[in-house]
């Protein structure tokens, strides 16, 4: 192997090491989520079977106030362009 091949090999190994370093937390999180899902499913089967249904979220009875960005955009949209 000459110097160029060694340099390419080192670069490739560094790239793979960096990729593994970046992807490892994501992969570990995925495994953690699967384990939690499995534990929840097993606990649900032990305690009864049917999954509990979520209550639907009710909308607020209060009126909503538009944000500053919405207010500004509405004001800009309502102005007429005048060509002279």
pTM: 0.44
pLDDT of residue 54: 65
Whole-number Cα distances in Å, 72 to 4, 29, 37, 65, 82: 59, 41, 45, 13, 20
User: Which pLDDT value is given to residue 30?
Assistant: 95
pLDDT in tens, 10-69: 999 999 999 999 999 999 999 999 999 999 999 999 988 666 666 666 666 666 666 666
How does DSSP classify residue 21? H
DSSP designation for 49: S
Coil, helix or strand for 53?
A: coil
In angstroms, the CA 40 to CA 46 distance is 10
Dihedral, 32, 35, 37, 41 alpha carbons, nearest 10: -170
């Amino acid at each position: 192997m000459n110097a160029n091949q060694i340099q390419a090999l080192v670069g490739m190994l560094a790239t793979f090491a960096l990729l593994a370093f970046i992807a490892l937390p994501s992969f570990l999180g995925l495994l953690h989520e699967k384990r939690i899902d499995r534990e929840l499913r097993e606990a649900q089967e032990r305690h009864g079977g049917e999954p509990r249904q979520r209550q639907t979220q009710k909308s607020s009875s209060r009126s909503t106030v538009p944000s500053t960005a919405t207010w500004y955009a509405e004001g800009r949209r309502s102005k007429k362009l005048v060509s002279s």
